[in-house]
Chain A
């Protein structure tokens, strides 16, 4: 019979979320989000191959306010996953495991993803 009185180790909702924890789960979350968003990019590419009429329809939908909002989220997820992915490669080489370094790197990755997203959208609007 199971002993239900034994103490349990604290689960996720008990911990105060350290930045490193958030940046770790964000990598997985953005990865799954990017997989879904890739379907939209694939749709855009297939539409371009299909012809001008269908392309205009897809371009119109992706260019709507909702389409732009989704693409904003997609671009941030892409830059986050890219920056944090480079961090993962550094980990694979044995770098960046110290507590202070890990926290600094989390701040760096999150800041870089936001800056790159803003830069991308400024460029997209200025090249339009």
Chain B
């Protein structure tokens, strides 16, 4: 008993790649989950640290960031937070802004803001760690 192949307009190669018409497949969905899983422990650890040094004076905050473990966790958290935030805001923007021009303008603005503020945060952690 042989079954006929399913009729499809997608090429066999396209079906194997599984990337769909947007050419990105499930990467948006997957990266949102990867950053989410990373953020569960990072947020819990850094929340405790922030509660400890959040009300402290400048010297205590600088001293805390001289710890390489905290500096590395802060760098990882900044990357994961801004990545996760960018993916999340993208979905919200695409859901509610229906005028193509405005949508692309807002998406660009959010992307640039994420990179700008993210870079400022990373530089701040490095500056505090190296004490320059």
Contacts and interface: CB of A to CB of B under 8 A. Distances in A.
A57 to B, nearest CB: 11
Interface in A56-115: 56, 59, 63, 78, 82, 85-86, 88-89, 92
Contacts of B128: 48-49
A38 B33 contact: no
Interface residues on chain A, size class: 20 to 34
A123 interface: yes
A120 B128 CA distance: 25
Interface string B35-58: 011011001100110011011011
Main secondary structure of the interface of A (DSSP, over half): helix
Interface in A24-69: 28, 31-32, 34-35, 38-39, 42, 45-46, 48-49, 51-52, 55-56, 59, 63
A124 B54 contact: yes
Interface string B68-109: 000000000000011001001100100000000000000000
Interface residues on chain B, size class: 20 to 34
Contacts, number: 72
Nearest to B129: A49
Contacts of B51: 120, 123-124, 127
Contact of B88 (A31, A59, A124): A31
Q: Which of B51, B55, B89, B123 has the most CB of A within 10 A?
A: B51
Contacts of A42: 117, 120-121
10 nearest interchain CB pairs? A49-B124, A52-B58, A49-B127, A55-B58, A124-B51, A45-B124, A35-B85, A128-B55, A48-B61, A46-B124
Interface of B: 33, 36-37, 39-40, 43-44, 47-48, 51-52, 54-55, 57-59, 61-62, 65, 81-82, 85, 88-89, 92, 117, 120-121, 123-125, 127-128
